[in-house]
Amino acid sequence: MRILLQRSDAKEAAWIADFKDLLPEAEIVFWRESATFAPCDYAVVWQPPAAMLPALREVKAIFNTGAGVDALLKFGEALSAHVPLVRLDDAGMGVQMAEYVSHAVLRHFRRLDDYEAQGRAGIWQPLPAFDKADFPVGVLGMGVLSTRVLQALAQFEFPLRGWSRSQKQLDGVQCYAGEEGLEEFLRNTRVLVCMLPLTPETHNLLDRTRLSMLLPGAYVINVARGAHLAEPDLLTLIRSGHIAGATLDVFRNEPLPQQHPFWQEPRITITPHISAATLRRESVAQIAAKMRRLHAGDSVAGIVNRLQGY
């Protein structure tokens, strides 16, 4: 078994070491532009450049080492349709995402930003508390990671909503589906958590029209992709008071440019795309197990539906 490995973060040595440890029967080849390689069975990639496309057409499957596959699907028909794309199922990202989102929800619910501002001003003053019954949390997307987040939030007894492209069921969650269910979902959501895959249909999904459907004083958390959110529209609605604030981990341009107005808006909390890091050891273990199954002629979970985009 030969594996073609590509990384865009200069961490290839650690990935190679883990593959040698967890899949010792495989030969690991690191991809470099302009280099020539003997045919490989599988490719493991993270944000591959267009120059890698010829090599990706020759493998039996491509494994993506992130939660989203938009960096691959952007190549369209240039990425051979006969080569399966395999995404990570969780690999330790679910618990990280649950931690991040739960913290953001609780921070807003308990008004900790307000108390920190009072503390800096030397003000000792209890503030009116939110009523949990009037604080429904809605999650856009109901995949593996979203389900983990909803299960974590359930422990705090928030009213929970979930929206997905097709109808889903999850205990304790009021589920909505399809375009016809999206407006009702938004109109019944106080804290909106975006965890959708980025597809042509979800690009700019959170624009002024849809964000205005949220309950007054809503709060927005985006841990998916920056292109889901119309950034100027969010700013407008925060400044108008319809949206109370936001916690944003992803942006259209990363790193977020210093001149971006988000930096100057105190009601927006910014983090540098850290809500759920890829855990290398867990990811390699999952990929290695799937490679062994494919090599034995068995099926694996996590095959991307290219038409749906996830």
**In angstroms, rounded to a whole number, what is the distance separating the alpha carbons of residues 196 and 170?**
17
User: What global pTM score does this model have?
Assistant: 0.95
pLDDT in tens, 174-204: 999 999 999 999 999 999 999 999 999 999 9
Instruction: Determine whether 103 is an active site residue.
Output: no
Radius of gyration of the chain (CA): 21
82 is catalytic: no
Per annotation, catalytic residue among 103, 107, 210, 273 = 273
Among residues 148, 161, 225, 228, the one annotated as catalytic is 225
pLDDT (0 to 100) of residue 280: 96
User: Rounded distance, CA 82 to CA 7, Å?
Assistant: 23
* Residue-wise pLDDT tens digits, 229-288: 999 999 999 999 999 999 999 999 999 999 999 999 999 999 999 999 999 999 999 999
Torsion of CA 6, 8, 10, 16, to 10 degrees: -20
Counting residues of the chain whose pLDDT is more than 90, the rounded percentage is 95
The domains found in the chain, sorted by start residue, are: 2-91+278-295 (3.40.50.720), 93-270 (3.40.50.720)
